[in-house]
Amino acid sequence: MTPALSGAITEVPALLSLAGVRKSFGAVQALRGVDFALHAGEVHALLGENGAGKSTLIKLITGAHRADAGRIVVGGHEEPRLDPRRAKALGIAAVYQQPSLFRDLSVAENLALGSERPGLLRWIDWPRRRRMATEVLDRIGADIDPGRVAGSLSMAEQQLVEIARALLTGARILILDEPTAALPSHDATRLLDLVRGLRSTGIGIIYISHRLDEVAAIADRATVLRDGTSVGTLPMQGLSSDAIIRLMVGRPVAELHPKRQVTIGAAVLECRGLGCTASGVAAIDLTVRSGEIVGLAGLVGAGRSELARVLFGLTPADAGTILLDGRPLAIDRPDRAIAAGIAYLPEDRRRHGVIPAMTVSENTAMAVLRRHLVRFGFLRRAAESSLAEDAVKRFAVRTAGIDAPVETLSGGNQQKVAFARWLATRPRVVILDEPTQGVDVGAKSEIHQIIGDLVAEGVAVILISSDLPEVLGLSDRVAVLRQGRIADILERAEATPERVLSLALGRAA
């Protein structure tokens, strides 16, 4: 066990402190005596693998859960019965990875919902509401019209409105949970600048992110959780990413992303002149062989996810040919792709990869329900349970049981359930769109292991990832897309970051 370390900020009374906090859900111990402190004008990173206890700790701080043991002190006063209303009154606010704005209301209305007091027969002062919205948006440097409908905002703009709403409620403690996970680099940079500005006003910020370079750039201290315990609180200055990762996962960085060498066989999937006007992809010539990982690289909007959707029949091709094992295949619907042996893990796992309210067992069985688990119109419950138990064991899914709702699992474990669902179909081709987005380094390593197992079994894999080192580290070949077309296909040895970026930008010969 790594001994807990302390950062340098000790002389100023904390805005928030937790001592010996414990929380269990049935037999699962989510937190095992965690200590944490946040000071005014500090950005304190909270790091750890998915399932390490970060989300549970945040829910205790915001009052969504109540601790089983330990002390929570806010502003020098112990809060034994913290609930969401009390947390808000104390100036605690959280902004999550997925914004919670009302999409059909305006920006000004969304901001007012967090700060105005409701009452019967109360007139709405619309000019004041708009003025208030304009002032707080200007304060954080957000050039957003308060009259815009929230559903029309980009992800970056929604994040800014969420932060503005927190400030309107008088937040002194601001929790940012993966605020840049879905943002392009320029928007992420802008948000980090905003965080620095908020810190200078004396707000204490708890910052959760799997992007360690980002954490190094913004945080004053970091607390690392592992298996529900705090294994270190350290000043960020001079702290290397390797040291953080070792604390998070308990093993060296070099062991996290090994490339498995397997024998590559014959062509499984071929695209010849493939195009889809609606998706903006055209003239795609691509071959993926048994046991091979072909990475799709390119800038945002280059056509990587669009090509995946064409191959799975979500937006059917209107030009060219798809061949499976040398035979032409008409894929105009997802069910035909599945029947042909093609599986697709989409980018947004919570909307399209799993059904959060359904159990681990139900999610795992979904793709093979009709073909293998229903007999004479009745579900074979024993067969469904056996399938789920095998999947939990094979993919090391951390769950209270196969009957637990998937929404109770961490992001990495939800992704494993999505893998299990599709691999139950015994696919010939697996298309992975951002398979490790938003998961920690430990879960990422486990997902890479699953991908390695797939190719070792002879499955052909198409890998889409915005993490270029991931694409280059796992792929046997890399196809670089630009404006819906393949600019070039690079062998592993020649697929350098410089070469890929040059092709993606259209600067290569």
Name the least confident of 59-68, 228-237, 358-367, 484-493: 358-367
Longest dimension (CA), the chain: 74
Distance CA 284, CA 24 (A): 52
The predicted pLDDT at position 2 comes to 37
Question: Pick the residue with more confidence: 31 or 125?
Answer: 31
Query: Could you check whether 16-99+166-254 and 256-341+427-509 share the same CATH topology?
Result: yes
Taking residues 228-233, report their average pLDDT: 90
Taking residues 270-298, report their average pLDDT: 95
Mean pLDDT, the chain, rounded, equals 84
The predicted pLDDT at position 6 comes to 43
Look up residue 267 and give its amino acid.
A
Q: State yes or no: pLDDT of 153 exceeds 70.
A: yes
Q: State yes or no: pLDDT of 5 exceeds 50.
A: no
Question: Pick the residue with more confidence: 211 or 62?
Answer: 62
Taking residues 92-117, report their average pLDDT: 85
The predicted pLDDT at position 374 comes to 53
Name the least confident of 99-103, 213-217, 390-394, 448-452: 390-394
Taking residues 18-43, report their average pLDDT: 92
Band of residue 405 on the pLDDT scale cut at 50, 70, 90? confident
> Which pair of tokens denotes residue 441?
């380094």
Q: Which helix (H) or strand (E) holds 135?
A: helix 126-139
Distance CA 474, CA 111 (A): 44
Q: Are 111 and 144 in contact (CB under 8 A)?
A: no
Q: State yes or no: pLDDT of 509 exceeds 60.
A: no
Q: State yes or no: pLDDT of 505 exceeds 60.
A: yes
Residues 62/66/67/72 CA torsion (nearest 10 deg):
50
CATH number for the segment(s) 256-341+427-509? 3.40.50.300
Distance CA 294, CA 308 (A): 12
Domain ranges (residues) in the chain: 16-99+166-254, 256-341+427-509, 354-425
Taking residues 170-187, report their average pLDDT: 84
Side by side, which strands form the sheet with 69-74?
28-38, 16-25, 69-74, 77-78
CATH number for the segment(s) 16-99+166-254? 3.40.50.300
Q: State yes or no: pLDDT of 139 exceeds 80.
A: yes
| Of the candidates 368, 335, 354, the residue with the CA atom closest to the CA atom of residue 405 | 354
Predicted TM-score of the model (pTM): 0.59
- C-alpha distances out from residue 446 to 258, 395, 436, Å: 11, 8, 10
Distance CA 156, CA 207 (A): 17
Name the least confident of 35-44, 181-190, 445-454: 181-190
Each residue's pLDDT tens digit, 420-429: 777 777 889 9
**Three-class secondary structure assignment of 284-334:** EEEEEECCCEEEEECCCCCCHHHHHHHHCCCCCCCEEEEEECCEEECCCCH
Please return the burial class of 240, using the count of CB atoms within 10 Å of its CB with bins 0-12, 13-18 and 19+: exposed
